[in-house]
Chains A and B, each alone.
Chain A
């Protein structure tokens, strides 16, 4: 066993672990989720899921990692294998390598956008551009297949640069590369975040071309709609957010924790890293994007834009809004915003590289450098389709299967292994061994019964969505609606009839900042937006310029690319499983020698 990695310091480990958790989603996904799921009331299911699912899984993954490390295992296949005699576990552990490299494949591309936008903020590319021009810039940037746009090639260059940077840092090792990056990146990220949050919250209507106070955005985000907490979908959204934000079910926490010795604490470390992530997500994440966007665009427009997630706001809108702060501040704010996203991204993508490297170093005696460069190569090959066919939905497909479904499946299986197969008594001893804090006994019960039940709920509640995704239901519905716009017309009529009886058409279509009207319920506001959106689609599908055949061809092309991505990902999983099989045979041979 050639693996001689170690952490430099305890604070470094916590910052690296927090950096692993803090990602772009903390700033782009959380505020959007909060807005869409009850505003301030979202914090209730969110914190409940953190306490009952996030914290227990942090304890479990840290404990599993440290346990595996005792027998020199630093990747999930053999960490899981060391916990029970059945051979099956090491193949379940394949998830812990597969998820990391598949997510890194598209995540590094996203990370490279932040690097590129930081560069463009410095050189002043966005200076003088209006919002439409900045949005077009983004659209041409991601349109890599369209070489005529010129910007597409640049996206590939920045992506390769970003991959190279990740690989180079990984080749420097845990303490010399990953930890050093976290020690620089995390404090800077928090500093940038505090500065931008201050600017966002103190934004005043009438100053720097703002039309609203920044506090209006905070007000909108934090106004609680307590009726939402009775909605199962809100709980599912909260559980999902906790999952992604803490990087649970990925295998990277196990890997980092496997370098902690048994006489050193994991209980306090896990809580410190977990809460640090919560601070960045809830306190900073809620105070930047929404207040600034609402300050300039108004609530209605922001709500419309958040429907497609936070990416559009973060990349298409914020660079324009920063221009309103003057030339120097536009550069400073651009560098801080994209720098913050870059540090959030790179500290996560580095964590994705370590399980692969740990596996190769442990099982095949590879050097750190060889492991790091092989990671870069694998991510390059796997990531190429997400870069070239971004618009065809390959990126989203990777994100769904590797970055969403796999996490839930692996977390559900690992907690069953930990609490029921390995045994909760043994598991509890692992968690509390050398702990620097008293772990509440109530977590013994939670880990055994509550967390598995919540995870099972999340998994089974996601099954209809998984089925719909497999069948391309959304795309097929869109084709049906385009082929027969009467479907949309009926739908608009139904929404109006059942939910918007007391509202006139002018209020539905032209109401300014209708989201701010307290007399309307959240459901009515959602219905207004549904009617607007469906009316726009109806107009598009009935316009003379609309070509149905072209539309159908485009959608069918997207479905084709998605259908190809799936067996590709399964093949990658199979290939890693085969490597695990070879490693297992190699272990047996070494034992007999």
Chain B
């Protein structure tokens, strides 16, 4: 691959993968505010 293609691809992949992982991990790590009375029927 040529340098410009490689840089564009790696930069795009890195930013998007980072943002996806960042937000998803944040969802997993955020404790429920009121587990008994929230929007979700399954107990956390």
| A325 within 8 A of partner (CB) | no
The answer on a CB contact under 8 Å between A40 and B4 is: yes
Number of A-B contacts (CB under 8 A): 109
Q: Which of A402-427 contact B (CB under 8 A)?
A: none
- List chain A residues, Cβ under 8 A from B6: 222
Task: In the A-B complex, list the 7 residue pairs whose CB atoms are closest, starting with the nearest.
Answer: A40-B8, A272-B23, A222-B5, A279-B20, A222-B9, A223-B5, A219-B1
Asked if A275 meets B39 with Cβ closer than 8 Å, knowing A264-B33, A268-B30, the reply is no
The answer on a CB contact under 8 Å between A283 and B2 is: no
- List chain A residues, Cβ under 8 A from B40: 6-10, 12-13, 264
Interface size for B (C-beta < 8 A) is 29
Asked if A222 meets B1 with Cβ closer than 8 Å, knowing A6-B40, A9-B42, A268-B26, the reply is yes
Asked if A8 meets B5 with Cβ closer than 8 Å, knowing A282-B12, A283-B17, A437-B26, the reply is no
Cα–Cα, bound, A13→B13 (Å): 25
| A261 within 8 A of partner (CB) | yes
The answer on a CB contact under 8 Å between A7 and B17 is: no
| A182 within 8 A of partner (CB) | no
A to B CB contacts below 8 Å, 19 in the list: A12-B42, A14-B24, A14-B27, A39-B5, A40-B5, A40-B12, A43-B8, A43-B12, A218-B1, A219-B5, A223-B2, A223-B5, A223-B8, A224-B5, A260-B39, A264-B40, A276-B23, A279-B16, A436-B26
| A269 within 8 A of partner (CB) | yes
| A215 within 8 A of partner (CB) | yes
The answer on a CB contact under 8 Å between B8 and A283 is: no
* A 250-290 binary contact with B (CB < 8 Å = 1; else 0): 00000000011101110011011001101100110010000
- Chain A interface, DSSP helix/strand/loop, else mixed: helix
Cα–Cα, bound, A175→B41 (Å): 8
* A 1-43 binary contact with B (CB < 8 Å = 1; else 0): 0000011111111100000000000000000000000011101
- List chain B residues, Cβ under 8 A from A278: 16, 19-20
Cα–Cα, bound, A275→B17 (Å): 8
**20 extra interchain contacts, Cβ-Cβ under 8 A, other than A10-B32, A224-B8, A263-B38?**
A6-B41, A8-B42, A9-B40, A9-B44, A10-B39, A11-B27, A39-B5, A40-B5, A40-B8, A40-B9, A218-B5, A221-B5, A259-B39, A260-B39, A265-B30, A272-B23, A272-B27, A275-B16, A436-B27, A437-B26
Asked if A261 meets B23 with Cβ closer than 8 Å, knowing A219-B1, A222-B5, A279-B17, the reply is no
| A536 within 8 A of partner (CB) | no
The answer on a CB contact under 8 Å between A261 and B19 is: no
Residue of B5, B26, B33 with highest tally of chain A CB at under 10 A: B5
- List chain A residues, Cβ under 8 A from B30: 265, 268, 436
Cα–Cα, bound, A224→B19 (Å): 23
The answer on a CB contact under 8 Å between A276 and B20 is: yes
- List chain B residues, Cβ under 8 A from A547: none
- List chain B residues, Cβ under 8 A from A265: 30
The answer on a CB contact under 8 Å between B26 and A275 is: no
- List chain A residues, Cβ under 8 A from B5: 39-40, 218-219, 221-224
The answer on a CB contact under 8 Å between B44 and A224 is: no
Interface size for A (C-beta < 8 A) is 43
- B35 to chain A minimum Cβ distance, whole angstroms, is 11
- List chain B residues, Cβ under 8 A from A462: none
Q: Which of A162-192 contact B (CB under 8 A)?
A: 175
The answer on a CB contact under 8 Å between B26 and A434 is: no
The answer on a CB contact under 8 Å between A264 and B27 is: no
Cα–Cα, bound, A357→B13 (Å): 38
Asked if A275 meets B8 with Cβ closer than 8 Å, knowing A219-B2, A261-B39, A436-B30, the reply is no
Cα–Cα, bound, A278→B23 (Å): 12
Cα–Cα, bound, A275→B19 (Å): 7
Q: Which of A60-86 contact B (CB under 8 A)?
A: none
The answer on a CB contact under 8 Å between A269 and B9 is: no
Residue on B nearest A40 in the bound complex, by CB = B8
Residue on B nearest A219 in the bound complex, by CB = B1
- List chain B residues, Cβ under 8 A from A47: 12, 15
- A380 to chain B minimum Cβ distance, whole angstroms, is 31
The answer on a CB contact under 8 Å between A224 and B27 is: no
Residue on B nearest A39 in the bound complex, by CB = B5
Q: Which of A314-334 contact B (CB under 8 A)?
A: none
- List chain A residues, Cβ under 8 A from B9: 40, 218, 222, 286
The answer on a CB contact under 8 Å between A434 and B33 is: yes
- List chain A residues, Cβ under 8 A from B38: 261, 263-264
Cα–Cα, bound, A39→B12 (Å): 13
The answer on a CB contact under 8 Å between A11 and B28 is: yes
Cα–Cα, bound, A222→B5 (Å): 5
- A493 to chain B minimum Cβ distance, whole angstroms, is 34
- List chain B residues, Cβ under 8 A from A218: 1, 5, 9
- List chain B residues, Cβ under 8 A from A12: 40, 42
Asked if A263 meets B8 with Cβ closer than 8 Å, knowing A282-B16, A437-B26, the reply is no
Cα–Cα, bound, A263→B12 (Å): 35
- A187 to chain B minimum Cβ distance, whole angstroms, is 12
* A 196-225 binary contact with B (CB < 8 Å = 1; else 0): 000000000000000000010011011110
Q: Which of A87-132 contact B (CB under 8 A)?
A: none
